[in-house]
Amino acid sequence: RNLISQETFKFHFKNLRYAKGRKDTFLCYEVTRKDCDSPVSLHHGVFKNKDNIHAEICFLYWFHDKVLKVLSPREEFKITWYMSWSPCFECAEQVLRFLATHHNLSLDIFSSRLYNIRDPENQQNLCRLVQEGAQVAAMDLYEFKKCWKKFVDNGGRRFRPWKKLLTNFRYQDSKLQEIL
């Protein structure tokens, strides 16, 4: 299983308004098949930026090369991302192209922080992702707990929210709602 350390999670997923020194993006993912009204988990794991390739693109390469070939185009699948940063303009463009060619896939993106939210191109592509059917949302306490349980080498410890997690969630969520 591909897990991240508790320290890595707390540092990179902390939903600060100004996240200095956090240049890497971590993407925790789950791929499920919609099967008889209850999703069936097929794959889950973690990607991070590698060799100047953003985590979203690493996921798309992996998904195309390893997973897509064995999935039935007649079945529906859901991809859920829990990200330390929302997608940048270029990554959102590639995700949009990917979704446009795979109509049996849906994508939910939960981000701890919004990447470069003052940039109009980033704002535009977040809107385009939603217009194309992706769900884009800020991570709230529920998503942080889910990530901690499924993607963090937590040693059996429960998730302990950091100070201002809910305040920072409300800030990230309000900025995202303004954009959308």
- The CATH number of residue 55's host domain is 3.40.140.10
How far is residue 143 from each of residues 54, 64, 70, 112, 169, measured CA to CA in Å? 22, 26, 29, 9, 11
Query: Is 56 noted as a catalytic residue in this protein?
Result: yes
- pLDDT of 29: 96
Inside any domain, residue 1: no
Of 56, 93, 121, 132, the active-site residue reads 56
Domain that holds residue 27: 6-14+21-179
Structurally, how many domains does the chain consist of? 1
Mean pLDDT of 50-68: 90
Query: Could you report the per-residue pLDDT of 116-150, keeping only the tens digit for each?
Result: 888 999 899 999 999 998 999 999 999 999 999 99
CA–CA dist 170, 155 (Å, integer): 29
Q: pLDDT at residue 106 above 60? A: yes
Query: Could you report the per-residue pLDDT of 80-98, keeping only the tens digit for each?
Result: 999 999 999 999 999 999 9
- pLDDT of 36: 60
How far is residue 137 from each of residues 82, 83, 170, 173, measured CA to CA in Å? 10, 10, 11, 7
